[in-house]
Amino acid sequence: MYPIRVGMKTQTELNGKIFILRILEGNKAFANHPCYSCQCESFSSNIEESPTKAISSLYQKIFQTSTKISGSLAMGYDDNTILKELLQDIEFRPYSILVEKFSIMIYGLGVSAREGWMRAGFEFISSFIYVISKKRCVVVQKFSDNKSIIEIWHENKKIS
């Protein structure tokens, strides 16, 4: 997983032209998820849900080709200097674990004074994608104050 920050810009040179990729807030599916835009000279991409789609669509438009460009490489995620700078001052990084066929994303942990737990608390927030009634849904589990809350989301709407 790569760290991203709203407002972040990266620059890459492709085929002799400078492309600037930007991370914006709010995409078509989820208002609080990132979206991406790419610019090269006077050309701009549409706002897209992935950096690959943003840079590839603009590259294809400019050079009249079907070439696909890796958004993560264009963002500089293969450069350890950039990754180190992005991770500076970040105390917690989301991670995922694989349980059978589910990739569970852990993106929130509580805080405690327990040094043996590396200061982690009892609270957590996790999610995974599951197909329910032929609909691709995001299942979110929150555990805090000795309560477990499960929410099911489809197309940016809570259905359970």
Asked whether residue 4 is assigned to any structural domain, the reply reads no
Q: Is 124:143 a contact under the CB 8 Å cutoff?
A: yes
Are residues 106 and 151 located together in one domain of the fold? yes
Pair 102, 82 in one domain: no
**Pair 61, 26 in one domain:** yes
Phi, psi of 155 (to 5 degrees): 50, 50
Domain membership of residue 13 (yes or no) is: yes
Q: The pTM is what?
A: 0.62
Q: Which domain holds residue 55?
A: 9-87
**Per-residue model confidence as pLDDT tens for the chain (160 residues):** 677 888 989 999 999 999 999 999 887 777 777 899 999 999 999 999 899 999 999 999 999 999 999 998 888 888 888 888 888 877 777 778 888 888 888 877 777 666 676 666 667 788 888 888 888 889 988 887 778 888 898 887 888 7
Judge if 17 and 69 occupy the same domain. yes
| Residue at 3 is within a domain | no
Q: 41 — phi, psi (to 5°)?
A: 55, -125
Q: Answer yes or no: do 57 and 107 share one domain.
A: no
Whether residue 1 lies inside any domain: the answer is: no
